């Protein structure tokens, strides 16, 4: 199976190169002091943790170094992963409950500017697709990177910050994308083709104008023919932007044809007994070259780890330590509201 973006857009347009190698029941996210990994000052040279809040003050974000991504943290919880609506594909089922440990995820997709810092440090290779002039800004998501290149970036990020950065697992990705939503979208999916452009960068009429052959464009106009600068659309309820649309995002997991036997603890699902390699790696979220169906929260796709395209990027995650358990005799405190404590 290939991503809708790569399957339907002509190869000359996508510049995709394939390698021969190859209902949530969780509480709201809490950017709380769950670990020193998020709260202590970064020890790397030139780094000092900075913190900001969303405009409504609900969500707290942090950044470990000036050239590293902005993050928000979740205390974890339990949710139902997969196609609960019944409108998806067999590979989105069976629905299964997953328990997520505390972690942080990028507020945005990794940008061209953030990725370039790794290139300039000599730790990352250049993106393999150069964007059109209108999509070449530093705030646009980096595209044209393989899974291997995404892994090289998180390896550099670990060294740069001294923190356990990595790619998100597929279960973590969906947990953060859903933000407690149980439907296909985090907006009014009953009118999806007319309202999607208010919430996500999909294949819209501006893209259709640039690429008339893309006949599956939705009827609204989001103003971006290809990628949009990160944060151009509203965040979901947990303060994370562009989880649906803009670019597809690599995750850590190997591809499996359905969720039979999937882990229930949120870890990456790799090939049994393997050294971590697999034929394909999962990517999630849909992109600018897709209609609304591909932006569904449970939709998933995969590509060989050496593939890349102008509609495929990534975001990062950060492991956090579990908070200390309360004494057995102590009552369980109510979940604090999101953003009540900065990491």
What pLDDT shows up at residue 189?
59
Residue 343 counted as domain residue: no
What pLDDT shows up at residue 323?
63
Round to whole Å and give the CA distance between 75 and 99.
Answer: 11
Q: How far does Cα 49 stand from its chain's mean position?
A: 22
Residue 269 counted as domain residue: yes
Average pLDDT of span 214-237: 95
Q: Could you give the number of structural domains in the chain?
A: 1
Average pLDDT of span 210-238: 95
Residue 327 counted as domain residue: no
CATH number of the CATH domain containing 268 = 3.90.1580.10
Residue 331 counted as domain residue: no
Residue 274 counted as domain residue: yes
Residue 325 counted as domain residue: no
Of 1, 53, 6, the C-alpha closest to 337 is 53
Round to whole Å and give the CA distance between 14 and 132.
Answer: 12
106, HSE (Cβ side, Cα atoms, 13 Å): 27
pTM: 0.83
What pLDDT shows up at residue 188?
67
The residues with which 282 forms a beta bridge, in sequence order, are 302
**Confidence band for 20, pLDDT divided at 50, 70 and 90:** very low
Residue 333 counted as domain residue: no
Residue 37 counted as domain residue: yes
pLDDT digits (tens, 9 = 90+) for 132-189: 888 999 999 999 999 999 999 999 999 999 999 999 999 999 999 999 999 888 876 5
**Confidence band for 319, pLDDT divided at 50, 70 and 90:** very high
pLDDT digits (tens, 9 = 90+) for 227-268: 999 999 999 999 999 999 999 999 999 999 999 999 999 999
The residues with which 317 forms a beta bridge, in sequence order, are 105, 166
Compute the mean pLDDT over every residue in the chain, rounded to the nearest whole number: 83
**Owning domain of residue 280:** 4-319
Round to whole Å and give the CA distance between 202 and 223.
Answer: 10
Categorise residue 57: left if φ over 0, alpha if ψ from -120 to 50, beta otherwise.
left
């Amino acid at each position: 199976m290939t991503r809708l973006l790569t399957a339907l857009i002509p190869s000359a347009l996508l510049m995709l190169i394939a390698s021969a190698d190859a209902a949530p029941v969780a509480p709201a996210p809490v950017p709380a002091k769950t670990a020193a990994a998020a709260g202590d000052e970064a020890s790397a040279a030139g780094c000092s943790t900075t913190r900001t809040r969303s405009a409504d003050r609900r969500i707290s974000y942090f950044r470990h170094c000036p050239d590293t991504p902005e993050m928000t943290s979740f205390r974890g919880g339990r949710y139902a992963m997969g196609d609960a609506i019944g409108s998806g594909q067999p590979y989105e089922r069976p629905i299964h409950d997953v328990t997520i440990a505390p972690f942080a995820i990028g507020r945005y997709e990794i940008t061209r500017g953030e990725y370039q810092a790794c290139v300039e440090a000599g730790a990352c290779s250049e993106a393999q697709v150069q964007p059109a002039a209108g999509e070449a800004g530093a705030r646009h998501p980096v595209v044209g990177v393989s899974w291997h290149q995404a892994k090289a970036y998180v390896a550099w990020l670990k060294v740069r910050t001294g923190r356990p950065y990595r790619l998100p697992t597929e279960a973590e990705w969906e947990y953060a994308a859903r933000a407690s939503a149980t439907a296909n979208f985090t907006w009014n999916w009953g009118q999806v083709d007319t309202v999607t452009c208010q919430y996500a960068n999909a294949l819209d009429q501006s893209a259709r104008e640039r690429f008339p052959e893309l006949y599956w464009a939705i009827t609204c106009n989001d103003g971006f023919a290809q990628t949009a600068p990160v944060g151009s659309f509203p965040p979901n309820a947990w303060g994370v932007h562009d989880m649906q649309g803009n670019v597809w995002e690599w995750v850590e997991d190997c591809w499996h044809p359905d969720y039979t036997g999937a882990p229930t603890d949120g870890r990456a699902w790799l090939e049994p007994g393997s050294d971590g390699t697999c034929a394909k790696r999962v990517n999630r979220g849909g992109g600018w070259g897709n209609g609304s169906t591909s932006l569904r929260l449970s939709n998933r796709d995969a590509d060989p780890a050496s593939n890349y395209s102008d509609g495929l990027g990534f975001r990062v995650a950060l492991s956090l330590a579990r908070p200390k358990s309360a004494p057995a005799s102590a009552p369980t405190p109510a979940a604090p509201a999101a953003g009540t404590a900065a990491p």
